[in-house]
């Protein structure tokens, strides 16, 4: 039978082992849960939100993704402001006190697609840093499920588009439509190959200098002619720039430019005078009395022409009376005969008488 001393020593060893096991288990729990060192000093800051987002006490608090603390308490704030319904107490490690500016903001972030979330502090820019009891502003970050729900209409539209694409692919695979025939019709494939072969022949002919296009591409004489033409154009352009010839003077002569400006000014003055009713042409355009007299004169001319056409007056009879026309024609004929006889025998018609007193 063991002595009491040995039993007490054995019990002491068992107790020490149990304590060590509890310490190791606690350390493992701390390491696995990702919380900060329980022996480190912390300070508390607050934030207000419109919704807790199903956050739980003990959730991680990160500064731009780096673990800095945990959520110590979540509760109702009692305020009427809908953006400050929820109050969260954030327990932050003391070593981060001088690394979180006062204009930093807090929002929800998802650790994974399964819905695990944490509070992420987005670091601000100011030089003043938070203290124990400070209040951080919150961001209106959408929850992961809200993002998925807002994307559902887009996903539905994408599903409809995919269904249509599946139908089009099925039609193409069965050889329907232009694309389907292009993929499945052997005759079309053969024709396409023949066309490509013909194009290769044309390309070969061009490369060997055959035909008009081939000569255009390969004939050195044609190339030289083209270069000479370009050189002539360059010379012509240089002459124009130097003010040579009529076109060059037109481009470079300032006197001609000044005369053109003067002519333009005179033309504008003339148009202004016409619009103002000055001069004969201006009065013709603007004077209503002259316009009326012109219309009256035209009416009289029209009336005279109408009378002539109707056979009134001498001119009218001459225009419409055939007897007068025939008499005039006969008289003209007799006059020609008389002149002909006169030129042939003027003595017949001329006589000289001498009388002595």
Residue 307 in this model has a pLDDT that exceeds 70 = yes
Closest CA to 104 of 85, 81, 129, 83: 129
Q: What is the pLDDT at residue 164? A: 83
Q: Which residues contact 310 (CB under 8 A, 6 or more apart)?
A: 316, 320
3-state DSSP call for residue 105? Answer: strand
The 10s digit of each residue's pLDDT in 75-84 is: 998 888 888 8
Which structure tokens are listed for 97?
A: 């006190």
The 10s digit of each residue's pLDDT in 228-247 is: 888 888 888 887 787 777 77
**Count of CB atoms situated within 10 Å of the CB of 321:** 14
Helix, strand, coil abundance in the chain, percent, nearest 5:
65, 15, 25
Give the pLDDT band of residue 112 (cuts 50, 70, 90): low
Q: Where are the domains of the chain?
A: 34-141, 149-184, 287-341
User: For residue 138, what is the enclosing H or E element?
Assistant: strand 135-138
DSSP symbols for 243-301: T-HHHHHHHH-HHHHHHHHHHHHHHHHHHHHHHHT-HHHHHHHH-HHHHHHHHHHHHHH
Q: What is the pLDDT at residue 332? A: 83
Residue 357 in this model has a pLDDT that exceeds 50 = no
End-to-end Cα spacing for the chain: 221
Q: What is the pLDDT at residue 155? A: 76
Give the pLDDT band of residue 48 (cuts 50, 70, 90): very high
The 10s digit of each residue's pLDDT in 194-207 is: 888 888 887 877 77
Closest CA to 286 of 296, 278, 297, 294: 278
Q: What is the pLDDT at residue 46? A: 92
């Amino acid at each position: 039978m063991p002595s009491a001393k040995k039993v007490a020593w054995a019990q002491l060893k068992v107790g020490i082992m149990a304590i060590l096991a509890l310490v190791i288990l606690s350390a493992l729990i701390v390491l696995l849960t990702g919380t900060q060192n329980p022996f480190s000093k912390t300070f508390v800051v607050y934030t207000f939100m419109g919704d807790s987002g199903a956050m739980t006490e003990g959730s991680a608090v990160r500064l731009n993704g780096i673990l800095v603390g945990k959520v110590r308490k979540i509760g109702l704030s009692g305020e009427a402001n809908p953006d400050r319904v929820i109050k969260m107490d954030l327990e932050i490690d003391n070593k981060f006190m001088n690394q979180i500016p006062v204009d930093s903001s807090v929002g929800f972030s998802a650790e994974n697609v399964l819905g695990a979330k944490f509070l992420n502090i987005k670091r601000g820019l100011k030089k003043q840093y938070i203290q124990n009891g400070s209040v951080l502003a919150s961001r209106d970050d959408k929850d992961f499920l809200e993002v998925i729900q807002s994307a559902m209409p887009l996903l539905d539209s994408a599903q409809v588009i995919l269904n249509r694409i599946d139908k089009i692919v099925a039609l193409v695979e069965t050889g329907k439509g232009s694309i389907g025939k292009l993929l499945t019709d052997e005759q079309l494939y053969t024709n396409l190959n023949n066309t490509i072969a013909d194009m290769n022949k044309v390309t070969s002919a061009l490369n060997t200098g055959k035909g008009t296009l081939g000569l255009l591409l390969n004939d050195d004489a044609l190339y030289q002619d083209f270069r000479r033409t370009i050189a002539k154009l360059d010379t012509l352009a240089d002459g124009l720039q130097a003010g040579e010839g009529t076109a060059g003077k037109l481009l470079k002569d300032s006197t001609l430019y000044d005369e053109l400006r003067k002519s333009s000014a005179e033309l504008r003055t003339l148009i202004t005078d016409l619009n103002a009713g000055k001069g004969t042409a201006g009065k013709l355009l603007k004077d209503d009395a002259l316009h009326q007299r012109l219309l009256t004169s035209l009416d009289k001319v029209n009336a005279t022409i109408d009378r002539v056409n109707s056979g009134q007056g001498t001119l009218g009879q001459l225009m419409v009376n055939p007897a007068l026309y025939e008499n005039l024609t006969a008289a003209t004929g007799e006059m020609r005969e008389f002149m002909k006889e006169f030129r042939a025998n003027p003595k017949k018609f001329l006589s000289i008488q001498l009388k002595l007193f």
